[in-house]
Structure 1
Amino acid sequence: MTISFQMTDEQMKLKETCRELAKDFATRAAKHDEERSAPVENYKKLQEAGFFGLTIPKKFGGLGEGFLGYTIAVEELAQGCAATMMSWNMHVAGTAAIMENPDISDEKKQFIADLVIDQGALLCQSVSEPTSSSLIGQSYTPSLKAKKVEGGYILNGKKAFASMFEASDYVYLYAHPEESENPQSSIGFFLSTKSEGISVIDIWDTLGMRATRSNTVVYENVFVPEENAIHKTEEFLNSFIMKNAAWAFGTFASMYYAIGRGVGNWVKETLMTRKPKGFSQPMGYHPAMRARAGEIFADLEAARFLVYHAAWLHDTKGPGPETTAACLRAKYIAAQTTGRVVRSATIACGAHGLMKGLPFERMLRDAVTAPIMPPNEDACLDLIGTMDLGLNPEEILPFLKEEEVCQTVKN
C-alpha cells in the first residue's frame, strides 16, 4: 500500500482557513492564558466556520475529514492558541468517537450530528479519572457509578480534567454499572452539562494550558434517561484504547507537534529579524544559531511524519493494534520533540524569548504538559514495548502493590 500525505483541494482550503483563524485566536491567547478563562469567542468562530462537524461523516451532514483532516487543522489552529485547541479537541474527539463506534445506532449518531451541526451544540468528552497516575491500568476504567432506576440511570462520582466542560452544552462520558462485578463493564452516556446534580470544582490554576479549564466535575444523583445511554461494553480498555486510539490519545500527538511547529516558526521569525547591536545581519547568520535552527526543523519534520503516518493509518486501515501502536509512537515522539524544540529555542533566542507578553513564553509553558498528557511518556513506552515484544498484557504482573483492605474486629 502506498503511503501518501498529499492533501486534497478540500484539505488545502481547510488548512488556509485554519491559518487565518489562528491569527485571530492569537490576538486573545495571552488574555485567556492570564485569566485562565474559556476562549468562548474562539469556539464560536470554529462553529461559524463549520468545524463543529469536522470529524462527523458526510452522510450525517459533517465535513468527514477524518484523523488526517483533523491533524491538518490542528497543526495550524494550535499555533494561534494551543489551549483553545486542546479543549476543543474534546469536542472533535468526542464526536468522532461516537461516529466511529459500531455499537451506536445510526439513528443516535444522526441525532447527535444534528445537535452539533444544525444547532451548534458544543460537546465535551470527559473520560479522565480522579486518580494519581495514568501509569496504572485501573486508572483508565470508569469510577463514576451508574445505578439502574425506572426510566434510566442515576450517576454518582467524579470526572477529572474535564476540559471545556463549563462552556459545553453536552458531555459524553463513561460510567460503571453499579450491579456489575466486571471493572471494565461500562456504559457510554450523552447528557446535558446543565443536568441537575452536576457541579464543577474549580481547581485548574496551572502552569500551562490554563485556558482549557480542565476542572473536576462532580455528579451527585444525576438522572440520565434510558435513551441517553448510547452504548455498553464489557471491555472498556479494548473499546476505548485499542479500538479508539486515534480519538482517545492520538489527537494529543497532533496537538504537541503543532505546539512545536509554532515554536519553530517563532524561532525562525526571531532569528531572521533581530540584529545584534553593531551588526548588519540578523542572528540567523551566526553558525551556532543556524545549528540550533537546523536541529529544531529536523526534529519537527521527523515528528510530522510519525504524526501524519498515524493519522493516515487510521483513515486507511481503521482501528486496530497497528493503528494503536502508531498513535503511541507518535504521542511519545511528539512530546519528546516538543521538549527538545523549546530547549533549543530558549538557547537560540536567549532571555528575550522568556519575556512576558511574547508568545514563546506561553508556548513553553503549554509544552511542559506534553510528557504527562495521557498516556504519559513512560506509559507510552511501556505500551509500545508490550506490543512490539508481542507480550500478553494479562500476563504482566502489577508493578505496584495493591492496597489491602483491613477489617478491624472489635472484641
Structure 2
Amino acid sequence: MSATPVLKMQTPRNWAAIGAEIAAAVGADAAVHDADARFVAENYAKLRDSGLIAAAVPAELGGGGIDYRTLCGIIRQIGTRCGSTALAFSMHAHLVATAAWRWTHQQAPTDGLLRRVAAENLVLVSSGGSDWLKSAGTATKVDGGFRIDARKIFSSGCPAGDLLMTSAVYDDPEAGATVLHFAVPFKAEGVSILDTWHVMGMRGTGSNDVELKSVFVPDAAISGRRPQGAWHPLFHTISMIAFPLIYSAYVGVAEGARDAALAMARSKPANAGLIGLAGELQTAFWTAETAHAAMIATAETAMPGPETTNAIMTGRTVTGQNAIRTAELALEVAGGAAFYKSAGIERAFRDVQGARFHPLQGPAQRDFSGRLALGLDIDG
C-alpha cells in the first residue's frame, strides 16, 4: 500500500484539541462501521491528516513528539466514540511509542524506522497479540536471508497497513528454537490479507489474518533474535509501553457506555434501585480508570523488568475486568432502552469484551504474579 505524504508538523500542537476533533469525527459513523463490519478506513485517513500517525515519533526524528500520557488520553477520547478506531490506532501507536522509548532510553537503533514513519506517514501493524513469547510460523534459512511461512491472526488495522511488525521461529542448529523479529511490507510478494474478521465486537478494526507464503526476508532485515517462549528484555519493554495505550481504548469504551447510561437514567424518576445501580456503575468505572492511571504512571516512570511487567499486567487485569463490568452495569442503569442499537450501549458492551483477550490473559497473569511473589523463575 502506498503511504500518504506526511503533513508538516506544527510546533507546538494542541494534541488534546486534535484528539477531541478526531473523536467527534469518528463517532459519526461508528455505528455504520459496526453494523457493516467494515474497516474504519476513513478514520485512518483522518488520523494521517491530523498528524497522529507520526505523533509518537520524537520531534528530533521528524515526528510530533507527543508525550505518552497525552497519547493515552487521545486513544481514550476516541474510544468513547468509536472503540474500533481507538483499538486499531493503539496497535500502531504502541509500536511507534515502544520504538521511540527504546531509541530515547536504550540508544536502540530504531531511528531509521521512526524517521520513515514520520517522513512517509507509515502505518505499522502488530502481530504480537497472536505471537507473544512463542511466536508462530516458520523461518527457513535460504541464501541471503530467510523464507517465512506464517499466518498471523488479530492483525488490527492491516487493511491500512504499510509494514507488518512480526516474527517467526527459526530452528537454529546451534541455539535451538529462535524467534526472529522483522518487518515485512504489505506490498511484498507472498503477503496477503485474508477476510477473517467476522466477530462479536470491535468489528471495524480490520483485525484480519495476514498470510505470509514463502516471503523472503533478507538477513539485514532481522531486527532481533531471542529464545522461543522465554521472557526477554524486549518483552518487558513492550509490556510497559504497549498495554496502557491498548487499554486506553477499553477505558474509553467503558466511559462512553457509562455516560450514555447516566444520561438516559437522569430522564427517569429516581428510586433506590436505580440510585444503587448508578453508584455501582461509578465504582466499577472508578476502579477501571484508577487502575489504568496507575499503568500510565508506571510506563512514565519505571524501567522495564519483571516487577514493572507485573505491575502493568496486574493493572491490565483490573482495568479490563472493571471496564467490562462498567459496560454491563450501563445496560442495567439505562434499562430496556439500552437493548436498542441506537443507544450505542450494546455496541460498547460487545466492543469492551475484547479486553479479555490480550496477553497476559487472566490465568497467565496470575501465574506470572504468583511466581514473582514466591521468588520462582518467571519462565517456569
TM-score (norm 1): 0.82
CA distance in 2, matches of 1:105, 1:230: 15
Asked whether the 8 Å contact 1:53–1:62 carries over to 2, the reply is yes
Which residue number in structure 2 is paired with residue 96 of structure 1?
97
Which residue number in structure 2 is paired with residue 153 of structure 1?
146
How far is 1:108 from its partner?
5.4
Asked whether the 8 Å contact 1:66–1:315 carries over to 2, the reply is no
Which residue number in structure 2 is paired with residue 232 of structure 1?
225
How far is 1:207 from its partner?
0.7
Question: C-alpha offsets along residues 159-190 of structure 1, whole Å, 9 cap, x if unaligned?
Answer: 11111112201111122224356566222212
CA distance in 2, matches of 1:183, 1:144: 15
Which residue number in structure 2 is paired with residue 270 of structure 1?
264
Which residue number in structure 1 is paired with residue 160 of structure 2?
167
How far is 1:16 from its partner?
3.2
Structure 2 residue corresponding to 1:261, chosen from 255, 258, 261: 255
Does the residue aligned with 2:122 lie in a helix, a strand or coil? Answer: coil
Asked whether the 8 Å contact 1:78–1:259 carries over to 2, the reply is yes
TM-score (norm 2): 0.88
Asked whether the 8 Å contact 2:167–2:179 carries over to 1, the reply is yes
Could you say if the C-alpha distance between residues 60 and 369 of structure 1 is closer, same or farther in structure 2, counting changes exceeding 3 Å?
Answer: same
Does the residue aligned with 1:265 lie in a helix, a strand or coil? Answer: helix
How far is 1:29 from its partner?
0.7
The 5 Å alignment of 1:187-202 reads 187-202=180-195
Could you say if the C-alpha distance between residues 343 and 17 of structure 1 is closer, same or farther in structure 2, counting changes exceeding 3 Å?
Answer: same
CA distance in 1, matches of 2:242, 2:369: 16
Code of the residue aligned with 1:388 in structure 2: it is: A
Which residue number in structure 2 is paired with residue 134 of structure 1?
none
CA distance in 2, matches of 1:290, 1:182: 62
Asked whether the 8 Å contact 1:249–1:374 carries over to 2, the reply is no
CA distance in 1, matches of 2:367, 2:308: 16
CA distance in 1, matches of 2:322, 2:120: 39
Question: C-alpha offsets along residues 364-387 of structure 1, whole Å, 9 cap, x if unaligned?
Answer: 111222223332223222222222
How far is 1:12 from its partner?
10
How far is 1:152 from its partner?
2.8
Asked whether the 8 Å contact 1:254–1:334 carries over to 2, the reply is no
Runs of 4+ that moved beyond 4 A: 102-108, 180-184
Question: C-alpha offsets along residues 194-249 of structure 1, whole Å, 9 cap, x if unaligned?
Answer: 11111222221111111112222221110123332223334763234323213454
Asked whether the 8 Å contact 2:56–2:66 carries over to 1, the reply is yes
Asked whether the 8 Å contact 1:204–1:210 carries over to 2, the reply is yes
Could you say if the C-alpha distance between residues 97 and 254 of structure 1 is closer, same or farther in structure 2, counting changes exceeding 3 Å?
Answer: same
Could you say if the C-alpha distance between residues 62 and 326 of structure 1 is closer, same or farther in structure 2, counting changes exceeding 3 Å?
Answer: farther
Asked whether the 8 Å contact 1:158–1:217 carries over to 2, the reply is yes
Which residue number in structure 2 is paired with residue 142 of structure 1?
135
Does the residue aligned with 1:243 lie in a helix, a strand or coil? Answer: helix
Question: C-alpha offsets along residues 325-378 of structure 1, whole Å, 9 cap, x if unaligned?
Answer: 121121111111122212211111112011023211111111222223332223
Question: For structure 1, which runs of at least 5 residues remain unmatched after alignment?
Answer: 1-9, 131-138, 275-281, 397-411
Asked whether the 8 Å contact 2:170–2:177 carries over to 1, the reply is no
1:365 counterpart = 2:350: yes
Code of the residue aligned with 1:269 in structure 2: it is: A
Could you say if the C-alpha distance between residues 268 and 15 of structure 1 is closer, same or farther in structure 2, counting changes exceeding 3 Å?
Answer: farther
CA distance in 2, matches of 1:231, 1:105: 15
Does the residue aligned with 2:120 lie in a helix, a strand or coil? Answer: coil
1:243 counterpart = 2:237: yes
The 5 Å alignment of 1:6-405 reads 13-101=14-102, 109-129=110-130, 140-180=133-173, 182=175, 185-234=178-227, 237-272=231-266, 274=267, 282-283=268-269, 285-394=270-379, 396=380
Asked whether the 8 Å contact 1:71–1:308 carries over to 2, the reply is no
Counting matched residue pairs gives 369
Code of the residue aligned with 1:195 in structure 2: it is: A
How far is 1:158 from its partner?
1.6
Code of the residue aligned with 1:316 in structure 2: it is: T
Could you say if the C-alpha distance between residues 286 and 34 of structure 1 is closer, same or farther in structure 2, counting changes exceeding 3 Å?
Answer: same
Task: Compare CA radii of gyration and give the structure with the larger one.
Answer: 1
More divergent stretch after superposition (154-163 vs 370-379) = 370-379
Code of the residue aligned with 2:256 in structure 1: it is: G
Identical-residue share of aligned pairs (%): 24
CA distance in 1, matches of 2:319, 2:300: 20
Asked whether the 8 Å contact 1:11–1:72 carries over to 2, the reply is no
More divergent stretch after superposition (104-113 vs 295-304) = 104-113
Asked whether the 8 Å contact 1:263–1:345 carries over to 2, the reply is yes
Question: For structure 2, which runs of at least 5 residues remain unmatched after alignment?
Answer: 1-10
CA distance in 2, matches of 1:269, 1:346: 12
Asked whether the 8 Å contact 1:129–1:140 carries over to 2, the reply is no
